[in-house]
Amino acid sequence: MTVIHKSPSGSDVRGLTRRGLLARAIAAGATFVVGGGFVAARDAAWAVETAALKPETMAVLIQMARDIYPHDRIADRFYAIAVKAHDTPEQAQVIEEGVAGLNLVAQAQGFEGYLAAGWEKDRVAMLRMIEHTPFFQTIRAGLVTGLYNQKEVWPVFGYEGESFSQGGYIERGFNDIDWL
């Protein structure tokens, strides 16, 4: 996975120090900064490098992913991981065109671009306008597995995953409900 988790000290990861990264970045909406070949969180807690897509495009995809499946207790980096699969030469054209189209929709709504809309409801209204496009459906369908099949997000939902190695739940609360 190409999402780089920055350590709290901002130590050097692939030459992207926190300070250096922020110095080379410009704002992309309220949440992200983008620079040459990367998208990062505002606090530079994580960054994702892009290969085939423009960093600005990746920033839109990450926000779009959250707006499609908004879970306030799931961090942006998991959405970044989920959409990173589209960062391929094969998909680049379709994705770039799709994001450009979404930005045009935003401009028609009086925003500078998709990321410039500060309220989720405004962005969701734009997504509703494109939800039948192959672009939207590709992103949404990819998220179903790309987001929810990340084992790291399962604890947010309380889901415990694999249980055989722990002997199942026969001794671990299969019938422990106490409020009925």
Residues at the interface with other proteins (CB under 8 A): 68-71, 73, 124, 131, 140, 144-145, 147-149, 153-154, 157-165, 167-170, 172-177, 179-180
Phi-psi region of 158 (alpha: psi -120 to 50; beta: other; left: phi over 0): left
CA atoms within 13 Å, Cβ hemisphere of 83: 33
Decide: residue 110, CB within 10 A, 0-12 exposed, 13-18 middle, 19+ buried: exposed
Q: Which residues contact 8 (CB under 8 A, 6 or more apart)?
A: none
Quote the CA–CA distance of 135 and 170 in Å, as a whole number.
45
In whole angstroms, the minimum distance from the beta carbon of 70 to other proteins comes to 5
Q: Which residue, 23 or 170, is less far from other proteins as judged by CB?
A: 170
Query: Which of 25, 81 has the CB closer to other proteins?
Result: 81
CB of 103 to other proteins, least distance (A): 20
Which residue, 69 or 111, is less far from other proteins as judged by CB? 69
Q: How far is the CB of 87 from other proteins (least distance, A)?
A: 21
What 3-state class would DSSP assign to 173?
Answer: coil
The two three-digit tokens of residue 162, written as one number: 């694999």
Nearest approach, Cβ of residue 64 and other proteins (Å):
11
Minimum gap (Å) between residue 164 Cβ and other proteins = 5
By C-beta, is 8 or 158 nearer to other proteins? 158
Residues 6+ apart with CB under 8 A from 124: 67
Q: Distance between alpha carbon 168 and the CA centroid of its chain, in Å?
A: 33
| Pick 8 or 73: Cβ nearer other proteins | 73
